Chains A and B, each alone.
Chain A
Amino acid sequence: MPAVELNNICKSYNDNLVVNNVSFTVAQGEIFGLIGPNGAGKTTTIRMMMDITKPDSGGISILGESLNEATKNRVGYLPEERGLYRKVRVLETLVYLASLKGLGVRAARSRAEELLKRVDMLPHKEKKVEELSRGMGQIIQFLVTLIHDPQLLVLDEPFAGLDPVNTKLLKEMILELRNQGKAIILSTHMMNEVEALCDRILMINKGCTVLYGELAEIKSRYRNNSVYLEFGGVLGDIGGVVGKKEHGDYVELFLDKETPPQKILRQLASRGVSVNRFEVSTPSLNEIFLQVVEKGR
């Protein structure tokens, strides 16, 4: 049973179609990247999943059923637009918001202290939220998302505004959760984080699905059959190379369709070229993102 299943979801505001026929599934124990440029429809899609906004058409199934009060208790949501009660103490905030997720007060208090200890913030439990730094506040917000031990976590831009130390902490915790079998949806602009964490992705642009599938498969799909070469000596003409692009201290060699990279490497060795680096080029997700978005303009 998939943790999330969206089928042909559509949503429009004032005759403007912001989500157009989007479908995807997220499995248990998977980190799923939901990416796209600003205004692509990511947050609207997430809000429909969370039952905050109703879709105009299409079906949504969360943990095997349509979202209801019981299902809501098994989902943790970190919205993009976030904040907490500024005048309320950290522990009180965690306990109240956990109780709204069905956790008893005593259990919520115990779990809150456990999580605060995990992120080295237990000494701050009696502080008011307004007394915390912005980064600390975001960590508390992340704890709100997982305090009730949800089966599904939806994290909208979780790394925005975090320093490298807190980003590392958050990444570690996300991976821990994945290893515990939780399904995690990660919506972010930070492509390097998606590459580091996600198993599969969905990219939407202008409300439509433009990429969907295994991250490795998508990257191989966007490979342009070239190699990066850093060398010493004279290169000369190499059979099977149809183009060459200088990148400062290395060159990118574009190969014809029939030439595998190994053949190039053998030719270089036979000519006595000193090879310092030889790498089959794989486009970064960021490059794929830019390529897809610019194509859609």
Chain B
Amino acid sequence: MNKTILILKHEFLHMVKTKSFIIMTLALPVLVLIAMAILSFIQGIEKPLVPSDVISIGYIDEVGGFSGYTEQPGEPTVTLMGYNTPEEATSALLAGEISQYFIIPSDYVATGEIIRYTLERELEPPGKIQWALKSFLLSNLLEGQTSPEVIERTKAPMGLVSIRLDETGQVATDQGGFGALMVPLVVGFLLIISIFSSSGSLLQGLGEEKENRVMEILLSSVSARQLITGKVLGLGAAGLVQVVIWLLSAVFLVRWISTTIGGFISTIQIPDNFLVLGIVYFVLVYLFFAVLMASIGAIGANARDSQQLSMLLILPAWIPLWGLFFFLNNPDHVVSRIFTMIPVTAPLMVFVRLGTSGIPTWELVLSISVLIAGIIGGLVLAAKVFRTFVLMYGKRPRLGEIIRCLREA
């Protein structure tokens, strides 16, 4: 059997048999399922068990005229009970007749200030209570000045429905929004994790082989090119298996959950080219990182040293995450476009943009071309660096030596 394939097979099987790989690969879809189950459960317990539950709230009207609309519908219904003095209201509160009370001060119309009294310790008044109080005040303030329908509309003046049209003027299948961002963003994030995991294994493997001196035995049996190719492809294949499992489970889970649970999850959209782009970017970015990691593995004095050096590559890859709010709000900004073209930042940036504004085809082609060029260039340099430094034990070559080696390459 071809020695490259032997190394590929060895690395692949060695990787997929590790506990960490199996746990990482299977845990993710399982975790999503568990999260959705919990979400579904919480939605269930949030619903009132008795639809006729009523919250009683007291109030003292120092302005006068706030006497109508004391039944605020909703879940639960809020009943407002008037009191003449704070002492009366406090007694009712302590007796459990009301859950809280508030005072509408005499200068309310001028200041808008309402004073609330409660026995509960809380960060802020519950939203339902605020909504009921606001509705009660607004209804009483506008009483007699306009129709009941206008009063109701004043309480909720806008329910915005935004529809995206495609180039033909038809309603687009991809409607954007947070639901459209979710899957690409999460997948971009997972892609980076898988790329780092696979290329990190390559780095660690090379570091260990250098540290425990197996490298020289291997190089007496196979060429440096065969060794690197076999390792890169073997670990890459293992990573690809992981990514494909994640991508397919993402598609399956999103479809299944949106039909069974609904709600916000049903708004989640999966872009058409999502699977293909996911696989293409995984393969290319992994290869790019792998050839650079192989060089770092050769340069590092030992496995730990190599891992420290690899941070120079890993940290920039997270730039799209650090500036996520900027890139989400400005997906077509020139900075966003530049990061789409840089191989290190491309995977995350592409998926951020894919979930927001989308990416023109020419930009995708350019981004992929830059990546391929990066891989070829990296391969030439990595082969030279690897061959020169891989048998240098216990010390890291000086920067000058590396530069000289690269110049000669």
Residue positions of A touching B, CB distance < 8 A: 14, 47, 50-53, 69, 72-73, 75, 77, 79, 81-86, 96-97, 99-101, 141, 144
Contact = CB atoms under 8 A, between A and B. Distances in A.
Nearest to A100: B221
B106 interface: no
Contacts of A69: 3, 222-223
B123 interface: no
7 contacts: A72-B221, A73-B221, A79-B220, A81-B216, A81-B391, A99-B1, A99-B6
B213 A79 contact: yes
Contacts, number: 60
Contacts of A141: 217
B6 A83 contact: no
Interface string B193-224: 00000000000000011011110111111110
Q: Which 9 A-B pairs have the closest CB atoms?
A: A83-B212, A83-B213, A77-B220, A100-B221, A79-B216, A81-B213, A50-B220, A52-B219, A82-B213
Contacts of A52: 216, 219-220, 391
Interface residues of B, number: 22
B134 to A, nearest CB: 66
B216 A85 contact: no
B213 A97 contact: no
A100 B3 contact: yes
B393 interface: yes
Given A47-B391, A86-B212, A100-B222, A79 B217 contact: yes
B369 to A, nearest CB: 34
A144 B217 contact: yes
B155 interface: no
Contacts of B214: 83-85
A85 B212 contact: yes
Nearest to B226: A69
A100 B6 contact: yes
Interface in B216-237: 216-223
A97 B209 CA distance: 13
A253 to B, nearest CB: 50
Given A69-B3, A100-B221, 5 more contacts: A72-B221, A72-B222, A85-B212, A97-B221, A101-B221
Contacts of A86: 208, 212
With most chain A CB atoms within 10 A of its CB, the pick from B10, B212, B401 is: B212
A75 B212 contact: no
A84 B212 contact: yes
B220 A75 contact: yes
Given A52-B391, A69-B3, A100 B216 contact: no
Nearest to B10: A96
Contacts of A73: 221
Nearest to B221: A100
B6 to A, nearest CB: 6
A96 B8 CA distance: 12
A47 B392 CA distance: 13
Contacts of B3: 69, 100
A97 B211 CA distance: 18
B143 to A, nearest CB: 80
A147 to B, nearest CB: 11
A72 B226 CA distance: 13
B118 to A, nearest CB: 62
A84 B391 CA distance: 15
A100 B218 contact: yes
Nearest to A78: B217
A91 to B, nearest CB: 14
B219 A82 contact: no
Contact of A82 (B211, B216, B391, B401): B216
Nearest to B212: A83
A96 B3 CA distance: 11
Nearest to A154: B220
B13 to A, nearest CB: 10
